[in-house]
Structure 1
Amino acid sequence: MTILFDKRFSRTLDTLVADAIGPFEAWTFDDAKSRKAAQDALAAKGVKAHIRSAYKPLLHFFLEEVQLVGLESVRIVFPVHPNAPANRFTLEAYPLAAMLGDAKFEFVAQTIGADVLPAYDVQLTYTDGAQALHHVLAPNRVHTDLAGETNLSPTGWLRNHPAHEGIRLDTDYEALFEEAMQAIAAHEWGGTEPYFEELNISATYPAEDERLSHGDEAVSLREALHEEFYFSLLEFFQKKSGRPLGDRGLRPGQIVPEIVLGAVPSVCVSLRKLDRSVETGATFDLETIAEPPYVTQIEAELDAIGGETFEATTRSGRIVRARYVKGTDAPVMISGGQHANENTGIVGALRAAKLLRQRPGAHFTISPLENPDGYALHQRLRLVNPRHMHHAARYTAFGDDLEYRTAENTGGNLGEKNIRNGATDLTHAPLHVNLHGYPSHEWTRPLSGYVPRNFAMWTLPKGFFLVMRHHEGWDRRADTMLNHVTRQLGKIPGLITYNDAQIELYEIHAGETGFRIINGFPCLVSVDDRHTAPLTLITEYPDETIYGDDFIAGHTAQMVTVISAYDAMQMIVQYG
């Protein structure tokens, strides 16, 4: 192991308590319990202070300072800043609209200048006729990141008098991230990808996750820091390699931020060998399994399905396992686990394959876990932070998205991608059902503009939806497929209601989805000739990272999608 950077940071709250001599307001990146403890310590010194959250300040204002009982209506004038998307500050307030009971809720936009400190103006009306007006600061700074992009990002703030605007407070949270990033950028990485096996960022931060009263939502500064490190480093290496931001063919190596709860802010950046360990554990009934299965169970389920074995090898030496069941039906390719932190598709694929295997004439390939290196990392990260989305496990140990591998950009070493090529060669299937997921709760990057760059569409959950990509001339068959699949999905109790509730909240905080609604399900349809199969049906279930009945509901929806798409393909081949 080679250490590139190792530092402990003074806690901002401790510094504020130690240095304060008069009343003040501050905004820091800390949980509510820690901020209150600091306020109490200051009060014991005779100093009156109010320490607010720099992260999602409007949400915390309602959680900590507003009397919610008897609230009849809420009108919020939010800022629109020239260095941010128009919906930036409504996103930052999420999921407020769902946490106010029956109170009427309204957002009103107000454009501000680049030099104006963002703030919300809040009007509260109560059932007894009482009203209250509040001016809620949302301290932000305009800055340029290591990718050369200009961002408007939340920041620490200090104000000694209510009449004064205040000054920026450089917090421990921001310093930890920025100094670690600078150290990584200063390292000599050479000119050949991959640059490392594992680039590990082990950090501790003293902020507990705070569950919210809506859905799977929580305020998690540690999860946000994981996302910041992972995607900021992808962007740094994309720029270094001369690629555009968001390029999924980049192969830097495996980037692993491990952000844990600890008493002192600290970070250690190191270069390590790839983790090649195999986690083993209990086996559960697939129909009722309530968490991501161990890889040993996935392999055992594949063995039970049977058929012809075909395999591929990952960077770490793990094996991607698949089966080909040959029959007289029109063939279908079924896959899951391309993005290994999206787990309901893995179980849904296996459940569907087990049902199809019982049919005479069944004809399909099944590769339920296309990215076992990423999956091993996800299992490792879940042990400490089980509910985080863990996007570091999304890509392979090379750091790329396996779908975007080609012979040209890999030097012919296709690795995991060979499993899809093998399925295509065996079947020449007209349909590929590719099971995916996305975050079950809000996804943010608070130190790089808040909204995840190149992933704005995925920042909030919006139900279970489908993406159909088809070759030119296959539009009618794509519509037939979607009509049949969505009709079958609509028979799952509660699924449309679940979708409707998430979409309604999404539209309040983010705006229109842009989806085409088919039988109550959001769908995105496009012509795309990149794929070998003329029809590629991609599922997107909000499953990062869910458990219990929510997980069961997720893999049930994935299973029904596979079965109904398979049946639709047979009808399309038979009747056109």
Structure 2
Amino acid sequence: MGGGELLFQADYPATLDRLCRDLTCARAEIWSFDDAPTRRAAEQALAARGVRARCRSAYKPLLHAFLEEIQTEGLAVAEIACPRHPQAVPGRFLLEAYPLPALFPLADFRFSEGRESEAMPVYRLRLGYASGEVRHATVPAPNRPHRDHAGGMALSPCGWLIRDGLAEALETDYEALFHDTMRAIAAAPWSGEPCFQELNIAVTLPVRDQSLDWGAEAVSLAEALHEDLYFSLIEHFQCRFGRPSGDRSLRLGQIVPEIRHGPRHAVRVRVRDWDRSPAGGARWQRLDRAHAPLALAQIARELARLPGVPFAARSVAGRPVEARYLPGRDRAVMISAGQHANEVSGPVGALRAAQELARREGAHFTLCPLENPDGYALRQRLAGAAPRHMLHAARYTALGDDLEHRHEPPEAERGIRDQALRLSGALLHVSLHGYPAHEWTRPLSGYVPRGFRDWTLPRGFFLILRHHPGWARPAALLAEAVIARLARLPDLVAFNAAQLALARRHGVVPQAPGGFVRIIAEDARPPVPLVLVTEYPDETLLGAPFAAAHEAQRSAVIAAYDAFQELDLGDRPVA
């Protein structure tokens, strides 16, 4: 398919507008994917027609019940029995309650699981107040069972209507837009990989994000739709081309949902050429105080200021992938960031660490601060309209694959690592990564992101250490040495403790000795015997939280470099 070809276009009348016009009953309860102001306006419009209505959120209904309906003043105890459904991911409805305990810290939230049932999911509440009053309440959570785009069974939030006591499913504007878009793209005559350069899905939604009073948390139906379209399409094409679920080598091209606020629900899908224009918009920042992701031009300029031997590769779309090699007498370390381009604190942390190391006599390392410039350029483009969104469409390369999983030509971005290893002979690769700084959901595909169950809630800064067979002991020693250094940073320790405590309230229970999760696994695939991956919850951060993120990344690089110099490697050869 050629550049600019229109695949699908549609507008959707607002569900609540239609109901306000057509609904004839005395009482109504409506669940839709709309923001609170839109739902309150619909209630008033229905009241003017003699319909006593309550318009609720189909997305995170328990959270919205506490925000909009339940009396929280004087609330002392909230005992909540979460529903269980055979088609839902275990613990799913407890996840949906996130982050209630953080929003109402004076109340003691006590969660439990009810009996498994195929009936409509319902939360059952016992609310105790400081006055001694006790109230009981139920909060329905309308859901529908269906097959998702990976072919599995899912249970997803859905529109629902109860009029004068009679209940029925209600396909909302939000759901119809998603389902029709998926059907239209699936029906197109894709011939093989790559299917396109950019599959652009331009959507407008008359829905505003709602910030919550806890960290980076927000209710964002726009962000949720971006995530659901992007990952559902990957799952569809994995099935279509016979790839296993979770395969990261699929080369579709860039799938780009651009979700913006607009006056109506509308979608336009077309195939475009890659956007090769320079990514602008970000102003120059002092590196150690950077409060937002750096401009591509600043990353290149900061790298050029470092001493050492320059080397480079080219991205699939033709952007330079630049790096430096600083030879020295120390044990060599490869340092990289930006493999997943929406994980934005890594490039800053890597550059800052490299500046510090370059001032040391004998320092020996390679640095590539941005391995995926095509993804980063897309991330900057999308952030112009949605700076607080995760923007996973920018995660992979312009081919649509994860560069670490690229094993066939063109080598392109992947070549920068091969050059770094040839130049340095490093035995340790420190790869800076990030993950969502707030809850990650896919409400139209089972709510919990398929294949990413452990990444749905932030759980602090943590480490993943992969090692070759026979390297388990050095890997464990390295992980503990790095964590010992990080544990000296009181702000980071407090940050981790708060995130871990809240995640555990919602069923995410990682082991974190000393306040830091560490995952150590044998993996013979990397060319380097030790790979240390940092994971900071940085997606969506700006301001002081972003500065804290890249400071943690910088600290981890320095800690890993220093620990590796003294690591007992036995009789293993060292570069």
CA contact (8 A) 1:198 1:271 kept: yes
Taking the TM superposition and a 5 Å limit, the aligned residue runs for 1:120-159 are 120-159=123-162
The residue number in structure 1 matching 2:115 is 111
Name the TM-score, length of structure 2 as normaliser.
0.97
Deviation at 1:306, TM superposition (A): 2.6
Deviation at 1:530, TM superposition (A): 1.1
Cα-to-partner distance string for 1:246-279 (whole Å, 9 max, x where unaligned): 1000000000000000110000010001000112
* Residues 1:566 and 2:561 are matched in the alignment: yes
The residue number in structure 2 matching 1:97 is 101
CA distance in 2, matches of 1:342, 1:321: 18
Taking the TM superposition and a 5 Å limit, the aligned residue runs for 1:15-414 are 15-22=18-25, 23-114=27-118, 116-162=119-165, 164=166, 166-190=167-191, 192-280=192-280, 281-406=282-407, 410=408, 412-414=409-411
Letter in 2 for 1:349: A
Local SS of the residue matching 1:61: helix
Candidates 453, 478, 482, aligned match of 1:481: 478
Name the TM-score, length of structure 1 as normaliser.
0.97
CA distance in 2, matches of 1:322, 1:557: 22
The residue number in structure 2 matching 1:551 is 546
The residue number in structure 1 matching 2:535 is 540
CA contact (8 A) 1:516 1:524 kept: no
Letter in 1 for 2:344: N
Deviation at 1:375, TM superposition (A): 0.1
CA distance in 2, matches of 1:149, 1:306: 52
Candidates 522, 525, 531, aligned match of 1:527: 522
CA distance in 1, matches of 2:427, 2:179: 48
Distance 1:29 1:574, change over 3 A: closer
CA distance in 1, matches of 2:231, 2:503: 23
Cα-to-partner distance string for 1:344-379 (whole Å, 9 max, x where unaligned): 111000000000000111100000100000000000
Letter in 2 for 1:509: H
Deviation at 1:320, TM superposition (A): 0.6
Local SS of the residue matching 1:250: coil
Local SS of the residue matching 1:563: helix
Give the stretch that moved more between structures: 377-386 or 479-488. 479-488
Letter in 2 for 1:232: S
Local SS of the residue matching 1:78: strand
Local SS of the residue matching 1:377: helix
Letter in 2 for 1:18: R
CA contact (8 A) 2:474 2:568 kept: no
Cα-to-partner distance string for 1:400-441 (whole Å, 9 max, x where unaligned): 0001111xxx2x311111011111111121110000000000
Deviation at 1:111, TM superposition (A): 2.6
The residue number in structure 1 matching 2:456 is 459
CA contact (8 A) 2:82 2:124 kept: yes
Taking the TM superposition and a 5 Å limit, the aligned residue runs for 1:498-509 are 498-509=495-506
Local SS of the residue matching 1:565: helix
For the aligned residue pairs, the C-alpha RMSD in angstroms reads 1.2
Letter in 2 for 1:437: G
Cα-to-partner distance string for 1:166-199 (whole Å, 9 max, x where unaligned): 1100100000000011000000001x21010000
CA contact (8 A) 2:205 2:264 kept: yes
CA distance in 2, matches of 1:284, 1:260: 27
Deviation at 1:516, TM superposition (A): 4.6
Cα-to-partner distance string for 1:279-333 (whole Å, 9 max, x where unaligned): 2353211100100000111011111013111111111101110111111100000
CA contact (8 A) 2:284 2:294 kept: yes
* Residues 1:495 and 2:498 are matched in the alignment: no
Aligned residues with identical type, % of pairs: 52
Deviation at 1:493, TM superposition (A): 3.0
CA distance in 1, matches of 2:534, 2:569: 25
CA contact (8 A) 1:486 1:520 kept: no
Letter in 2 for 1:101: P
Deviation at 1:497, TM superposition (A): 1.1
Taking the TM superposition and a 5 Å limit, the aligned residue runs for 1:4-15 are 4-15=7-18
CA distance in 1, matches of 2:334, 2:305: 18
CA contact (8 A) 1:330 1:573 kept: no
Letter in 1 for 2:144: R
CA contact (8 A) 1:331 1:363 kept: yes
Local SS of the residue matching 1:494: helix
Instruction: Provide runs of 4+ in structure 1 moved above 2 Å.
Output: 111-114, 279-282, 573-576
Letter in 1 for 2:270: S
> Which stretches in structure 2 are left out of the alignment for 5+ residues?
none
CA contact (8 A) 1:371 1:396 kept: yes
Taking the TM superposition and a 5 Å limit, the aligned residue runs for 1:504-519 are 504-513=501-510, 515-517=511-513, 519=514
